[in-house]
Amino acid sequence: MALFTCKLGASDGKILYREFEAADGAALRKSLESQGFFVFEVKKKPFQFLFDKGIKRRKIDGKALLTFNQEMLVLIKSGIPIMQVLDAILERHDSGALSEVLQQVREDVKGGAALSSAMEKHGRAFPYLYVASIRAGERTGDLPRTIRRYIQYLKRVGGIRKKVISALFYPTILVVFAAMAITLLLVYVVPTFSQVYTDSGSQLPLLTQLLITFTSILRRYFLFGAILIAGVIAVFRKWKNTEAGSYVFDRFKLTMPLIGDVFTKYSVASFSRTLATVLGSGIPIIESLRMSIGTLNNVYMEKKLFEAVRHVEEGARLSSALEKINIMPSLALRMLGVGESTGSLEDMLIDISDYLEDELEERLQILTTAIEPAIMVVMGVVIGVIIIAMYLPIFKLGGTVG
């Protein structure tokens, strides 16, 4: 994700300057235009590596945002005015990114700005989805209900994200240590044996000769190979951050055997829960769809959903529009159709996200259960072949002596 500086025209005639994270400028421009902004300029921030620390300092992580909302909900429900709410929270958070941002928000609110407008100026700290939810709560006069919904949303999304990370953590550790063990054998252990065999002048088995030749090439061109791999990775990342590259790569992720279904379910579950949260805040369906698209984290699926939004704008039902773009399981589509027919779309979207998250957790459990022994078997076979190749001359020599 790159950081872009945008000059926007709002519906009320105001000129806004905002910073957004996006894979590429074209997709960001399209997203902003679909949200009702007139986009004057989208400019990628140069030399971002020089400002990374500052960017991270201004960004509030999910846990801090969750704590902030929990505290704000308790204080607002107690009937305390918003200025005193902010003062009370600032007393508890006297330093850090949250405190820096809230100080500025407090000053804007003190000057007469609405809470949502004050937060909107800090796009790195408060997601657009969150600001829009707060604004909807202000319009309906039920801000506590809106905040409570967002808290539930953060908890559920954070929970499923942790499950995905924890499921991938152990296999990643296994792969890293297996690669380190094999590299150690090839770079240090095998050359030691090969030197001994060279000094002895004996005829080596074919497997041993092949292994020694491979390790010799590896040692000779190790630095060149490392630079080449780093270059390929750098080129790939640059290509992946382009509009065409991100589109192709994200589409490829969805078609990968075994794990493609995991990516699809994770994206659709996040989208469904986000859409339910935004609809529950009182935001119209079209605007809710546009706001929820960004939670897919997949350019291919985002472009598909833009098509669905267009169908809904033309009068189609949401379930029919989603069926045309073919990104949601058939059972989820049927559930969505029932929700539209009974007037319980929001509740049905939550049920869909629960259903997809349960399936995702089950699939991750199966994958991790299968991947771990597979990694161990592959590692054992590779290390076994290396050891056998190194000891074959000794076995041969022992047989000759016998």
What distance in Å separates the CA atoms of residue 5 and residue 294, rounded to the nearest whole number? Answer: 17
**Would the pLDDT of 392 be above 80?**
yes
**Would the pLDDT of 227 be above 90?**
yes
Q: How confident is the model at residue 235 (pLDDT cuts 50, 70, 90)?
A: very high
**Would the pLDDT of 341 be above 60?**
yes
Q: Which domains does the chain have, with CATH numbers?
A: 1-58 (3.10.20), 60-126 (no CATH)
* Range of weakest confidence among 32-41, 83-92, 243-252, 313-322: 32-41
Q: How confident is the model at residue 11 (pLDDT cuts 50, 70, 90)?
A: low
Q: How confident is the model at residue 289 (pLDDT cuts 50, 70, 90)?
A: confident
What is the model's pLDDT at position 151?
86
Q: How confident is the model at residue 57 (pLDDT cuts 50, 70, 90)?
A: very low
> Residue range 142-153: average pLDDT?
84
What is the model's pLDDT at position 92?
80
Q: How confident is the model at residue 170 (pLDDT cuts 50, 70, 90)?
A: confident
DSSP notation for 345-401: HHHHHHHHHHHHHHHHHHHHHHHHHHHHHHHHHHHHHHHHHHHHHHHHHHHHHHHHH
User: Could you tell me the sign of the dihedral formed by the alpha carbons of 279, 283, 288, 294, in that order?
Assistant: negative
> Residue range 231-237: average pLDDT?
92
What is the model's pLDDT at position 233?
92
Q: How confident is the model at residue 401 (pLDDT cuts 50, 70, 90)?
A: very low
What is the model's pLDDT at position 180?
85
Q: How confident is the model at residue 22 (pLDDT cuts 50, 70, 90)?
A: low
pTM: 0.66
CB 207 within 8 A of CB 396: no
Higher pLDDT, 169 or 10: 169
pLDDT tens, residue by residue, 344-357: 888 899 899 888 88
pLDDT tens, residue by residue, 266-283: 888 888 888 888 888 778
> Residue range 193-208: average pLDDT?
77
What distance in Å separates the CA atoms of residue 336 and residue 360, rounded to the nearest whole number? Answer: 19
Q: Which residue has the tokens 């105001």?
A: 14
> Residue range 310-324: average pLDDT?
89
> Residue range 396-402: average pLDDT?
55
Q: How confident is the model at residue 51 (pLDDT cuts 50, 70, 90)?
A: very low
| Phi–psi pair at 157, nearest 5 degrees | -65, -40
**Would the pLDDT of 46 be above 80?**
no
**Would the pLDDT of 220 be above 80?**
yes
**Would the pLDDT of 148 be above 90?**
no
What is the model's pLDDT at position 252?
92
CB 26 within 8 A of CB 245: no
Q: What is the mean pLDDT of the chain?
A: 81
Q: Which one, of 23, 21, 22, 20, lies nearest residue 7 by Cα?
A: 20
> Residue range 213-223: average pLDDT?
84
**Would the pLDDT of 87 be above 50?**
yes
What is the model's pLDDT at position 54?
43
CB 365 within 8 A of CB 371: no
Q: Between the CA of residue 218 and those of 184, 225, 353, what are the distances in Å?
A: 12, 8, 49
What is the model's pLDDT at position 24?
66
Q: Which one, of 79, 102, 101, lies nearest residue 89 by Cα?
A: 102
